[in-house]
Structure 1
Amino acid sequence: MAGLGVRPARILIAALSGVLAVLVGTGVWIAAQARDEQGRAGDKQAALLAAGTHAKNLMSLDHRSADADVRRIIDSSTGSARAQYEANAGKLRTTTIENKVVQHGVLRATGLVSMTATTARVLVVGDVEIRWEGSDSPRQERFYRWQMDLSKVGGVWLASKVVQV
C-alpha cells in the first residue's frame, strides 16, 4: 500500500514540471518579442534621426565653413546619393564661398513611410532662410519636402536617395 502514495506524487511532480516548463518557455518567448520590438523601435528612431540630420546638412551652408558643411552632406549619405554629392561638391563649395551664402535650415518634421531591416523610406519637411553677406539682396525663405531612402550601412543609417516632393 505504501507504493500507491508515491505514484500520484510522481504524477503531480511531472505535471507541475510540465506546467513550469511551459511557463518558462512562454516567458522566454515574450522577452524575446519585447527585445525585438525594442530593436525595431530603436531602428525606427535611428532612421528618422538620420533623415533629419541629412536634411539639416543639406539646408545649412555657410561660406565660412563650406568645406565642413559639404563634408557633412557627403558623410551622411551612401550609394548613388553620395556619388552625386561628391560629383557636385566642388561646385557647391565654390558657389557658396563666392556668393557668401549663409543658409540656415530648420527641420520641421520627419515621418516613417516604410522600413525593413536594412532600408527605410522617410518623408522630411524643412525650411531654410538664405542670406548673402555683403549683399543688398533680401533674405529668402525656401520650403523643402523630401522623400529620403535610407540604407543601413555598418549599423548606421545613411541617405541613399533623396528626391524633392
Structure 2
Amino acid sequence: MAGLAVRPARILIAALSGVLAALVGTGTWIAAQARDEQGRAGDKQAALLAAGTHAKNLVSLDYRTVDTDLRRILDTSTGVAKTEYTTNAGKLKSTTVENKVVQHGVLRATGLVSMTGTTAKVLVVADVEIRWDGSKSPPEDRYYRWQMDVSKVGGLWLVSKVVQVQ
C-alpha cells in the first residue's frame, strides 16, 4: 500500500514541475517581448531625433560659422546623402560666405512613415528665415518638407537620403 501512495505523489510533483517550467518559460518569453518592444520604441525615437536634427542642421547656416555648420550636416548623414553634401560643400560654403547668408531654422514636426530593422522613413517639416548681412533686402521665410531615409550605422541613426516633398 505504501508503494501506491508514493506513485501519486511523484505524479503530482512531476505535474507541478511541468507547470512551473511552463510558467518560467512564459515569463521569460514575455520579458523578452517587452525588451524587444522597448528597443523598437527607442529606435523609433532615435530615428525621429536623427531626422529632426539633420533638418535643423540643413536650415541653420551662418557665413561666420559655415565650416562648423557644414560639419554638422556631414556628421548627421551617411550614404548617398553624405556623398551629395560632400560634393556640394565647396559651392555651398562659397555661396554662403560671398552672400553673407544667415539662416535660422526651426524644426516644426517629424513623423515616422515606416521602420524595418535598421532603416526608417521619416517626414520632416522645418521653416527657415534667411537674411543677408549688410543687405537692404528683407529677410525671406522658406518652408521645407522632406522625406528622409534614416539608417542605423554603428549604433547611430544617420540620414542616408533626403527628398523634398510638396
For the aligned pair, the TM-score class normalised by the smaller chain equals: over 0.9
Q: Secondary structure at the match of 1:48?
A: helix
Residues 1-41 of structure 1, C-alpha deviations (whole Å, 9 max, x = no match): 12221111111100100000000000000000000000100
Q: What is the correspondence of 1:37-52 to structure 2 with a 5 Å cutoff?
A: 37-52=37-52
DSSP-derived class of the 2:65 partner: helix
Partner in structure 1 of residue 57 of structure 2: 57
1:13-162 matches, cutoff 5 A: 13-162=13-162
Unaligned runs of 5+ in 1: none
CA RMSD of aligned residues (A): 0.7
TM-score by length of 2: 0.97
The one-letter code of the counterpart of 1:86 is: T
Q: Give every structure 1 segment of 4 or more consecutive aligned residues whose post-TM-superposition deviation is greater than 4 Å.
A: none
For residues 79-114 of structure 1, give each alpha carbon's deviation from its aligned partner in whole angstroms, at most 9, with x where no partner exists.
111111001101111111111111011000000111
Rounded to whole Å, the distance in 1 between the matches of 2:20 and 2:151 is 43
Amino acid at match of 1:57: N
**For structure 1, which segment, 51-60 or 92-101, has the greater mean C-alpha deviation from structure 2 after superposition?**
92-101
Identity, % of aligned positions: 81
Aligned partner of residue 61 in structure 1, secondary structure: coil
Q: How many residue pairs were aligned?
A: 165
Cα distance between partner residues in 1 of 2:48 and 2:151: 12
Match of residue 3 from structure 2? 3
Scaled by the length of structure 1, the TM-score of the pair is 0.98
Deviation at 1:65, TM superposition (A): 0.5
Aligned-partner SS, 1:64: coil
Q: Distance in 1 between matches of 2:106 and 2:114?
A: 24
Shift of 1:133: 1.1
- Which runs of 5 or more structure 2 residues have no equivalent in the other structure? none
